[in-house]
Amino acid sequence: MSPLVLHELPAIEAVPAAAWNALVGDDHPFLRHEFLHALEASGAVSPATGWVPRHLTLWQGEALVGVMPHYHKHHSFGEYVFDWGWAEAWERAGGDYYPKGLSAIPFTPAPGPRLALAPHLDPLAARRVLAEAWEESGLSSWHLLFAEPAEVEAWQAACPSLLARQGVQFQWRDRGYGDFEGFLAALTAKRRKAIRRERRLVAEQGLTLHRLEGEAIDAAAMAHFFRCYEITYLERGRHGYLGLDFFERLRRTLPESLLLIQARRDGAPVAAALCLQGARTLYGRYWGSEILADCLHFEACYYQGIEHCLARGLTLFDPGTQGEHKLSRGFAPRRLTSLHHIADSRLRDAVARFCAEERAHVEAYCRAAEAALPFRDA
């Protein structure tokens, strides 16, 4: 068997899409070549935006046997695991925190795999080869964000010095509800009544909801969605991370993974939510509206997604970060883990103390959130 050789590549297009996707599979759209290429080709991810691609690939002879997205970052924007305080503290002490190494999906706080390996590889040996790269890189740190639990455990076995940081998101899971009425039946009477009222309010404002998939999402629908997406950011005084070119590339190259939820009034679209879907999971990611309408966000971003999951046999709905208001709508807290290699022992010790203190608060928060879930047997 040929030895494992690591190559660091400056662009995702340096790897043929078929070779990358053969390792990644179809379950997780964000790790697919098409998604990562759309980020780079549209300019959202580039040295000019502070994201320098340095994708890690493992080879045996001419065969590609391992891939992991990887970037050198010159800031901490677009990550959703916030380490600004670590950077500030290290720079006050005279160190250089940036550039840092990052293995994550840019602008996408969705849990999923980060390293894809050929089935015959020893995963422990493969991770140790990768670990040698970032340990010898000369960078201040390396960060693995939003990895799945099994991958977190595998990395900790390969590199016991990695620091684990805990976080939380809210996700919906199908418990055999059958349909939306079955889901409502599992809730308390108070919450059933509240959700029905919210959905009724949307209809009473003359709004109808429509779910478009794949080829049914045409250029006009995507352009309208993008106008709505930009409004969400302009309300905060800035533009979104992603441009229309990025979304158009997804529409052309990854249509089977797209779900567009449109709200229409008098037949014309007025709001939209764009989701991606894998084999088992729906990911709610982008939203915007041209109008103000009571409860429309809940309908377009939560209830339509739940209905879609139940109709398509998807068992998990990840609607994105933040939002305790998701609790009352049946989205349960899920603990998340990020892993961090800190090169300097002084900074590593300080970060380790911070993570330990933060973990206690996260655990208490999760317990309180679980107690607040509106299920009748909760």
Mean pLDDT per block of 10 residues along the chain (378 residues) reads 92 97 94 98 98 98 97 96 96 97 97 96 95 91 96 95 96 97 97 98 98 97 97 84 97 97 98 97 96 97 98 96 88 96 97 97 96 87
* Residue-level pLDDT at 348: 97
Confirm if 294 and 201 have CB atoms less than 8 A apart: yes
272 contacts: CB under 8 Å, gap ≥ 6: 221, 224, 225, 228, 229, 260, 261, 262, 263, 287, 288, 289, 300
Token pair 């055999």 is found at 176
* Residue-level pLDDT at 378: 52
375 contacts: CB under 8 Å, gap ≥ 6: 186, 187, 188, 330
| 166/364 Cα distance (integer angstroms) | 12
Confirm if 199 and 297 have CB atoms less than 8 A apart: no
* Residue-level pLDDT at 27: 87
287 forms beta bridges with 273
Q: Which string of b and e fits 320-345 if b means at least 16 CB within 10 Å? A: beeeeebbbbbbbbbebbbbbbbbee
Q: How many Cβ atoms from other residues are within 10 Å of residue 47's Cβ? A: 11
* Residue-level pLDDT at 150: 94
